[in-house]
Amino acid sequence: MTTQQLNVELFRELSIIAEDESLMQKLVKYARKLTCKKVDPTLMSKEDFFARVDKSLEQARQGRVHRIETKEELNHFLNIQK
């Protein structure tokens, strides 16, 4: 099915569900569950972010740093980190 066909089917079903309040409540509850599963794995809490910043600053104070001055060095560093 194409995206357009899915949209047509979805809106057809929604027009039926919209006439029944209890079905609408169930649909909203289910939709919330679906959207909760789609979480961005790159997001982090404020506390985690600042903990990582603090850790990085401490490593820099200890001299545990990587100097990267060229694009090639950056690519090499990123490939090693994977």
pLDDT in tens, 14-32: 999 999 999 999 999 998 8
How much is the pLDDT for 53?
95
Question: Global pTM?
Answer: 0.41
pLDDT in tens, 37-63: 776 778 888 999 999 999 999 999 999
Contact (CB, 8 A) for 17 and 24: yes
Structure token pair of residue 74: 């950056």
The Cα–Cα gap between 27 and 41 comes to 26
